[in-house]
Amino acid sequence: MNEASEIPILEIRELGKSFGGVEALHDITFSVPSGVIQSIIGPNGAGKTTLLNCVSGIIKPSHGKIYFLGKPIENLPPHRIATLGISRTFQHVALFKRMTVIENVAIGRHSKTRSGFLACTLRLSSMRREERDIFTKAEEWLEFVGLSDEMWKEAGSLPLGKQKLLEVARALAAEPRLLLLDEPAGGLNTSETEQFGDLIERIRNLGITILLIEHDMNLVMEKSDYVVVLHYGKLLATGTPREIKRNPQVIEVYLGKEE
């Protein structure tokens, strides 16, 4: 193994975030090795989304460090973090609902192109080729997540589960190295959740590291290489799914309640 591959893709060090009197994150430290599927679990209000918001730059931590491939990113704005190679989906889907499915994916790709999405939308002749490439790529990502048949529909007309898949396609269109997923299986039925499990494995097989917030414990335990457990803003445990399932504290505050 060479030196570069030993640097974690993401390292969180003593990260804290307070909202007024609420300490949403309290001195969180853990890392994510390159190439894994790692999950963050914990009860409602544990701080999972807040943690992802800090990593993607949507909110600034109160203190602590976040390293992406060894470089500090906690003070960078979201678009810079995206350009470095971190994409995300949202717990509450954030699509352009009146635009078509494929246009939503094309938007995800615009940070990769020279001219940007606006120029492409205006169809400047010199941008035509780039536009064609963007839409060809968008089509490929839609096929990858299983939404080829929905390409020309309005995004807002899709059921919630498919909107979540569309968000995944849009995030992939930016060609990230690290993909942050906030409850992507919410709204999916059992067989769709199984398909979603296959999808995250296929994404990982592309060499993209996945940090997944998810309440579906079958999905988490079956697909994750590592699991991080948050509870009231604190790091309760980290380990392999097997270790986490047997951890008495985790069973008491989270897993036990699921039964």
Residues in contact with Mg ion by CB under 5 A are 48-49, 91
Which residue's CB is nearer to ligand ATP, number 110 or number 231?
231
Minimum distance, C-beta of residue 102 to ligand ATP, in the bound complex (Å): 29
Report strand pairing: 209-213 vs 178-182: parallel
Q: Which is nearer to Mg ion, 49 or 193 (CB)?
A: 49
Which residue's CB is nearer to ligand ATP, number 59 or number 119?
59
Q: Which is nearer to ligand ATP, 91 or 238 (CB)?
A: 91
Q: Taking the complex as a whole, how short is the minimal distance between the CB of residue 166 and ligand ATP, in angstroms?
A: 20
Give the nearest distance from C-beta 23 to Mg ion in angstroms. Answer: 16
Q: Which does 124 bind (CB under 5 to 8 A by kind): Mg ion, ligand ATP, none?
A: none
Which of 62, 86, 74, 76 is CA-nearest to residue 12? 74
Q: Which residues pair with 66 in a beta bridge?
A: 12
Rounded CA-CA distance 209/214 in Å is 16
Q: Which residue is nearest to Mg ion (CB)?
A: 49
Q: Which does 24 bind (CB under 5 to 8 A by kind): ligand ATP, Mg ion, none?
A: ligand ATP
Return the one option of ligand ATP, Mg ion, none that residue 38 interacts with (CB less than 5 to 8 A, by type). Answer: none
Binding site for ligand ATP (CB under 6 A): 19, 22, 24, 42, 44-50, 91
Nearer to ligand ATP, 27 or 140 (CB): 27
Least separation in angstroms between residue 4's CB and ligand ATP is: 32
Q: Which is nearer to ligand ATP, 178 or 230 (CB)?
A: 230
Least gap, CB of 90 to Mg ion (angstroms): 10
Residue 154 near residue 97 (C-beta atoms within 8 A): yes
User: Sign of the CA dihedral 222, 223, 224, 228?
Assistant: negative
